Structure 1
Amino acid sequence: MRDSESKRNKFVLVLSMALASLLFTGPSSSAERTIQTPLVVGAGEDNSGELAGVVNRVSEDGRTVVIDDQLVELAAVVRFNGASWSRERLVKELDEGLKIYFEVDPEAKGRTLRIISIRSRD
């Protein structure tokens, strides 16, 4: 009975430490922004609320892009530097290593983000 009590105490300790770390590392750490669902790790945020990232790869069919090692989907029509572009035309402009700001569709369903707007980073 002593072992099960010890295991329970360790579990409670680990759980309380995890919860405490979540409380103390809240919104004050703005060096790196992470979207909770789905995860986009490494994407920064500028003052306009857009996400920032680097294009790692563009799929051959032009439907998806990998930004900061996270797969994202392109909407059928995307605002690119202020103009409307089809995703097929846009993928020709998205080179690997390109730094961009982008907005995601807040109403997109599923685990993959859908980009609705992109602009080049200066």
Structure 2
Amino acid sequence: MNKSHLQYKSIDEYHQCFDAAIQKKLQELRMAIQKAAPQATESISYGMPAFKLKKPLAYYAVNKNHIGFYPTPNPIIHFAKELASYKTSKGSVQFPLDQPLPLSLITEMVLFRTKEIL
């Protein structure tokens, strides 16, 4: 399901490649990022939705069984306890497609990254 090899012109175009249930999750994720960092700019980078605020703020991508959220390494380290029930790596976390997104945690992570950048 990872379509990062495709070329997208916008986040809306990226979202439209998925079924309605996934589109809803992606829009919730996008809105959580926008709410936490309204000054961030949106783009497509590395074939996935990206948000920047002078520096990379966060990215996300749909994979076969999860949405990968990439807020860079420091938020993953800082929120390690809250992320314990999810699969994580140095700069990413996997949110299973069959579970609701932890939108308040995502918001906190984006706020943390925003403060880090500014």
TM-score with structure 2 setting the length: 0.30
If you compute each CA radius of gyration, which structure gives the higher value, 1 or 2?
1
- The answer to which structure has the higher strand fraction is 1
- The answer to which structure has the higher helix fraction is 2
Q: Which has the higher contact order (CA 8 A, sep 6+)?
A: 2
